[in-house]
Each structure stands twice: as structure tokens, then as C-alpha cells.
Amino acid sequence: MHIHKLEKYWLVFGIILLGVFLTVLGISAFAAGNQPASDADLIDPAKVHQTAPFDKPGLHKIGDNEYELVMVAQAFTFTPGNVEIPKGAKVTFLVTSPDVVHGFQLTGTPVNMMVVPGHINSLTYTFDEAGEFLILCNEYCGTGHHMMATKIKVVD
Amino acid sequence: MERGVPVPSIGAKEARLAYAHVVISVLAVLIGGLAGLMQTLIRTGVIPEVFGYYQLLTAHGIMLGLVFTTMFIIGLLYALLAKSFGRFESFPTRVAWLGFWMIIAGAVLVTIMVLANKATVLYTFYAPLMADPVFYIGLVLFVVGTWLSAFAMFRMYADYKRENPGVHPPLPAYMSVMTMLLWVIATLGVAGTILFQLLPLSLGWKDTVGIELSRTLFWYFGHPLVYFWLMPAYIVWYTVVPKVIGGKIFSDALARMAFLLFLLFSFPVGFHHQLTEPGIDPFWKFVQVILTFLVVIPSFMTAFSLFATFELRGRALGARGLFGWVKKMPYGDVRFLAPFVGMLFFIPAGAGGIINASHQLNAMVHNTLWVTGHFHITVGTAVALTFFGTAYWLVPVLRGRTLTKSMNRIGLIQTGTWAFGMSIMSYAMHISGLQGNPRRTGPATYFSDALTREWIPYHIAMAIGGTILLISVLIFVYSMFNLSFLAPKGEEEFPLAETEEAAMETPRFFENWKLWITVTFVLIAFAYTVPIWHLIESAPPGAKGWVLW
């Protein structure tokens, strides 16, 4: 099939650009480990409050300045709320939901994941600066959706 | 193979069928637009919540994302087929009307449930939010109605091919069938989750629902849906706009190939909407990210063909230099200006889409107002403006009236207000979304957090943009009323371009539907079999349904 010469150049240019872009994404994902939140752990949504570690939600120290923040997202609150975290801490967020789908977004950071009943989701983030962060629900979960938020205080 | 030549005019019966669909789409624009404006005003606190915010949001999404688009598209495609094939036989016509009434019945049931506040689940109705069973039944009727429309069109196409052996059906007809084929294959996913998961759950036949499976089936439909909106706009860009500027179609064969590639590349990509979700292996997410980006190829082909058409026409009119054609285009003609402005908006819109679909960049924008801004310039501007520009000649054609100079001028004003309002609104959405401002959220203060206070000016900008957009909607609705009932009777041109004489012969294998449908399903199977098997095989205990409004 005949394709105009300039159109060939244009398509080759586009396909090369595509290749470069996908290579960058692939290296970032598989060599540098920047994968999106994709936890595979399962949980019974009806028994969240009785299942470890969600029976004791909170900030747990697991290493030298390394923490696990176990959190339940439930219409229309995050438990626990108003958590204080030491500066420089590496925190792994473990979140699940006993009811509907929620969002978990730490504003101004790439910590952004879906909280789906039946699944546990997780992401790790290091707090290099002191200050306040807002966690908000960014997936519609009912009429109180826009009230669903809490804060993280990073202290020296 | 020869190419079929479109016949000159549309019969009265065919016109009535197409017009009925267009009328419903205009009504949907009016209701959806009002709901949209009220949302922006509620978020700034200018008006109190008369209807619940999320109820309005549900209505806005259903009216504009489902009823307006689908009805306008089906109406436009019937008109294109009537223009291409001449009279419709009585059997497909009856099926087409049955489909129309089924769609209406479905849309009415859905609307009643939303107004009664029994289905405030937004237009994405994510499980395990549980609406009234009647809402899901309405959706089923709507979808099955569109399947009847698709069947009617396929039958018309098959009849034409049987009566004209050895002839390529005209390009607009080929593109129309491709569009409806994409719709039918896409809606299989959403039909699956409604019929086997959500409807049984809301009727109480099932106690729980598997949420990730439901979301995967939804997004298997949800992304091709975007191409179902875009492809009819592309039909207008490829076949109508060249005629309006006095030019010809750059290449019939490449246009057909672009549409074929849109069909193939639209499906195996739904996971890029689920990048931040648990339970799906990152490897399969990445596979679908790669497949998502392949659509760049037909998009680049489309961009080349359109600008080649503009340049060829500009040169024929004496333009010189690389961009001399820019001065020669008929900007005073709404039939050109509206789709052309839509195309311009599609350039940043496409770039934004690449960001959304990226494996990691998505984390910054996922579920923020950035995404809302993105689809307000894709479907809300590129597609909607093309449809508006089309309606200005289509409605007079269907009603046997003419597009007068004064109505053309009003159309230009409407195009300008739409582009202006959408620029303000989508800019505010993109910028505050990048700062983390979430989408689909009522009037939120978040403890008057310092960061969220910075979003207030953007919400005001959205309300100003929304107000300008509603003015544009009102102008559009008036124009359609005028062109339906008041404009002088006469014969308005149905602008369909011919192909450039130097263009190449159209190969026969584009017509091999069995082959292309098979390839489509092979690609779908490649991208979805393993992850869906995984979602079923290692599924968590299901979640029960919730009514949280």
C-alpha cells in the first residue's frame, strides 16, 4: 500500500518517540522499582476489624526510623486520624476498607492509591521535611465523601 | 475495487429517524449543562445544595456522557448511512425505531431513579455502591437498545454490499460500521458486570460482589467508550470538514486503515484506568500501558491527513509557505470553525491523556480534578464542538430547512463562548488537580487546610467557566429550535467530500470483517485472560452492597 513520503517520516517520528517514552517508563518501573500501588494481599471486608494488622490500626515502628501505618478507610473517616510522624521516617501505608471503594491521597505527593474492599493496598513514602500533610478520600464513597480526610504531622 | 458514490439526498423516513435521536441529544445537553453549572456554583458556595451535589453529578455524567453522546452519534450515523446508501429497507428501519424506543425507556427509568435519589452512584456506578434495581434495568434497556441500532446499521451495510458486489461501501458508511462495532464489543464488558454482578446484588439474589472483577469489566468498556465518542468526530473531520473548506479527502485507504487501528487498539487497555488499584499485577498493568500508547499511530495518521487536507486546499487557493494555508480557511463558517477549534483543543488533550495513562506519572493526577479537566477538553470540547458544528448543518438537512447567515453567526458566537468557557474551566481544573484537588467532591473545606484554601480561586474560575458554558448551551438549544422550526424551508447541503484523485486504490482486505473481529478478540484475550483468571482464582471474599446517600 502506498503511503505519502512525508507521512512515512511523520509516522516513523511518532513511533520512535513512542519507543523512547515507553523505554523510559519501563526502566523506571522495572529497573528503578517505581511501580504503582498494586498490593496482592486479600482480606475479608466483613472481618476487617478482627483481622491483623487492622484489628490494631496505628503507627508501628518496624525498624530504624522505619514505620508501618496501618489504616482503615471507612465511610467517612480514616482510622487512626491525626498521626504524628518523625522527620526522615520511611513509612509504609497499609490500607483497606470494610465497606465501599475509597481513595487514599497524600496531597502534594505521589502517594495516591485506591482502597478496595477485599484487598489491602500499600505504598511507601519517606518524609524528608517537617510539616502537615492532608490525607483525603478521592473516590466518591457516599454523601459524606468530601468530609473524609485526616492529617499527618511530620515533626522534628 | 471501485468506491461507492454517495447518493444526493436523504429520504423523509430516514431523516425522521436521525432527527429523533438528535432531538433527544439536544435535550440531554440542556439538562446535563444545567446540572453542571449548579455543581460549580455549589462548590463555591454561591448557591445552596438544592439537589444533593452527588445527585447532580450523577445526572450531569449520565446526561452528557451517555445520553447526549450516544444519541447524537447514532443520529449522525443514520444520516451518514442514509446519505451513503439511499433509502433504508423497512426491516432495518423497524429495528432502528425499536432500538430508539428502548433507549428512551432505559434513559427515562435511569433519570427517574436519579431524581428520586435512589441511584446516587455517579455515572460510573462503582460496586459495591448499590442503586435501586430499576436503575440497572434502565441501563440494560439503554445498552440493548443501542445494540438494536447497531444491528440495524450492520444490516443496512450488508444489504448495500449484497446489492453492489465489487464496490467498496462509501467511506462514511465504513467508518460508521466500525464505530458501532467498537461500541458493541465494548459494551459486552459493562453488560457483564450489570447482568451478573450488580443487578443480582441489588435484587438480593446475591449477597456479595467481587469488586476488582467488576471494575475490570467496567474499564474494559470505559476506555473504548472514549473512542466511541471520538470516532464519529473523526468521521466529520475526515469526510465533512474537507468538503466544507472546498477540498478533498487526502486518502480513502489511510482513513479506513486509521479506523481499523482504532478498533484494534481501543480494547486491550482498560488497566491504565486502574493503575493505582490492588489485586492486579504491575506487569499486566504495564502491558496495557504499552498497548494504550499504540493508539498514537492512528492518531498521528489522523493529524497528518487533516493538516494535509488543509494545506492542499490552502495551496489551491494560492497560499504559499509552510503555514500559508492558515489564512485561507473559512473561519466564518460554523461548519468549519467549530470542528476546527475542537481539533486545536485535542492537541493538549492528547498530551494530557499520555500523562494519565503513564505507569508512574498517573500517581500525581489519579482521581484529581486534572482528570476532570482532561475529559472536559477531549469529549467536552474536541468531540462536543465537532458535534455542535455538525448539528448546524445536520438539523436543517433533516428538517428540510436552511442554515441562514444569521444562524451561522450565532453558531460562531456559540463556538467562541464554548471554547472560552472551557478554556477557563479546564485550565483551573488541570492546575488545581496537579496540586492534589480531588475530583467528584462536594463543597469541601478539609479543616480549612492551607493548601485547600489555595484551591478556592480555582473553584471560582470553574464557576465562571461553567456560567459561560451554560450560556453557550442555551444559545445552542435556541439555535437547534430555530433550525428545526423557524429557519426558511429549502435544501441545505449535506457536505461529504470526495477523495483526492491522486490518492491510492483502497485495498480489499479492509473489508474482511471476520479477520478484524478475530484479531480484536485475540488482542483482548492476550491483555485480559491471565489477569482476569487471576482475579477470579484468587478472589477475596466478596463485598456486600452499600447505600451511602
Q: What does the pLDDT average to over B312-323?
A: 89
Distances (CA, A) of B253 to A94, A137, B304, B509: 53, 48, 14, 11
> What backbone phi and psi angles, to 5 degrees, belong to B17?
-60, -50
Answer whether B390 touches A (CB < 8 Å): no
Kindly report, residue by residue over A90-125, the tens digit of the pLDDT. Answer: 999 999 999 999 999 999 899 999 999 999 999 999
What pLDDT was estimated at residue B503? 64
Amino acid at B522: V
Is residue A154 helix, strand or coil? strand
Answer whether B362 touches A (CB < 8 Å): yes
What pLDDT was estimated at residue B320? 87
In contact, A30 and B290? CB cutoff 8 Å: no
CB contact under 8 A, A4 and B308: yes
Separation CA A132–CA A107 (nearest Å): 10
Cβ-Cβ contacts under 8 Å for B430 (sequence gap 6 or more): B352, B369, B370, B373, B374
Answer whether B123 touches A (CB < 8 Å): no
Q: How confident is the model at residue B7 (pLDDT cuts 50, 70, 90)?
A: very low
CB contact under 8 A, A118 and B212: yes
Does B55 have pLDDT greater than 50? yes
In contact, A121 and A95? CB cutoff 8 Å: yes
* Host H or E run for residue B66: none
**Is the link from the previous residue into B310 a cis peptide, with omega within 30 of 0?**
no
Which letter does DSSP use for residue A28 in this model? I
Q: What does the pLDDT average to over B353-371?
A: 92
- Report residue B439 CA to chain centroid gap: 20
Which letter does DSSP use for residue B326 in this model? G
What pLDDT was estimated at residue B159? 93
Q: Which parts of chain A fold into alpha helices (H)?
A: 5-26
B60 is catalytic: no
Three-state SS letters, B162-231: HHCCCEECCHHHHHHHHHHHHHHHHHHHHHHHHHHHHHHHHHCCCCEECHHHHHHHHHHHHHHHHHHHHH
CA A65 to chain B, closest CA, distance in angstroms equals: 25
CA B288 to chain A, closest CA, distance in angstroms equals: 12
Is residue A62 helix, strand or coil? strand
Least confident of A130-139, B208-217, B329-338, B505-514: B505-514
CA A116 to chain B, closest CA, distance in angstroms equals: 7
Beta strands A149-155 and A83-86: pairing type? parallel
B359 is catalytic: no
B374 is catalytic: yes
CA A52 to chain B, closest CA, distance in angstroms equals: 16
Does B501 have pLDDT greater than 80? no
Q: How confident is the model at residue B527 (pLDDT cuts 50, 70, 90)?
A: very high
In contact, B95 and B155? CB cutoff 8 Å: yes
- Report residue B89 CA to chain centroid gap: 28
CA B30 to chain A, closest CA, distance in angstroms equals: 25
Does B9 have pLDDT greater than 80? no
Kindly report, residue by residue over B234-245, the tens digit of the pLDDT. Answer: 999 999 999 999
Would you state the cell numbers that stand for residue A96, as one nine-digit string? 483497606
Would you state the cell numbers that stand for residue B354, as one nine-digit string? 499520555
Does B101 have pLDDT greater than 70? yes
Q: Of residues B19, B135, B174, B375, which has the active-site annotation?
A: B375
Is residue B15 helix, strand or coil? helix
Q: Of residues B51, B88, B157, B227, which has the active-site annotation?
A: B227
In contact, B548 and A100? CB cutoff 8 Å: yes
Kindly report, residue by residue over B14-33, the tens digit of the pLDDT. Answer: 999 999 999 999 999 999 99
Kindly report, residue by residue over A4-33, the tens digit of the pLDDT. Answer: 888 889 889 989 999 999 999 999 989 988
Number of Cβ pairs closer than 8 Å across A and B?
225
Cβ-Cβ contacts under 8 Å for A135 (sequence gap 6 or more): A78, A104, A105, A106, A107, A149, A150, A151, A152
Separation CA B470–CA B418 (nearest Å): 9
CB nearest to A116's CB, from B211, B368, B538: B211
Answer whether B440 touches A (CB < 8 Å): yes
Chain A residues close to B275, C-beta within 8 Å: 36
Is residue B25 helix, strand or coil? helix
- Report residue B324 CA to chain centroid gap: 33
Note the pTM of the prediction, 2 decimals: 0.95
DSSP line for A80-93 = S-SEEEETT-EEEE
B227 is catalytic: yes
Instruction: List for chain B the helix, strand, coil content (%; round to 5).
Output: 75, 5, 25
* Host H or E run for residue B111: helix B90-115
CB nearest to A1's CB, from B308, B444, B504: B504
CB contact under 8 A, A44 and B541: yes
Chain A residues close to B254, C-beta within 8 Å: 3, 7
How many Cβ atoms from other residues are within 10 Å of residue B83's Cβ? 22
In contact, B237 and B386? CB cutoff 8 Å: yes
Which residue in the block uniquely carries the three cell numbers 439474589?
B205
In contact, B200 and B206? CB cutoff 8 Å: yes
Chain A residues close to B278, C-beta within 8 Å: 37-41, 113-114, 116, 119-121
Q: How confident is the model at residue B494 (pLDDT cuts 50, 70, 90)?
A: very high
Chain B residues close to A34, C-beta within 8 Å: 359-360
DSSP line for B233-301 = HHHIIIIIHHHHTT--BS-HHHHHHHHHHHHHHHSTTGGGGSTT-TTS-HHHHHHHHHHHHTTHHHHHH
Q: What does the pLDDT average to over B421-426?
A: 97
CB contact under 8 A, A138 and B366: yes
Kindly report, residue by residue over B262-295, the tens digit of the pLDDT. Answer: 999 999 999 999 999 999 999 999 999 999 999 8
**Please, what is the average pLDDT of chain B?**
93
Separation CA B339–CA B240 (nearest Å): 10
Answer whether B539 touches A (CB < 8 Å): yes
Would you state the cell numbers that stand for residue B89, as one nine-digit string? 429497507
CB nearest to A138's CB, from B57, B212, B438: B438
CA A149 to chain B, closest CA, distance in angstroms equals: 7
Chain B residues close to A44, C-beta within 8 Å: 540-541
Answer whether B117 touches A (CB < 8 Å): no
Across A65-88, b (16+ Cβ under 10 Å) vs e yields eebbbbbbbbbbebeeeebebeee
Cβ-Cβ contacts under 8 Å for A66 (sequence gap 6 or more): A89, A90, A91, A92
CB contact under 8 A, B308 and A107: no
Separation CA B286–CA B275 (nearest Å): 9
Does B528 have pLDDT greater than 60? yes
Which letter does DSSP use for residue A48 in this model? G
CB contact under 8 A, A121 and B278: yes
Separation CA B149–CA B228 (nearest Å): 14
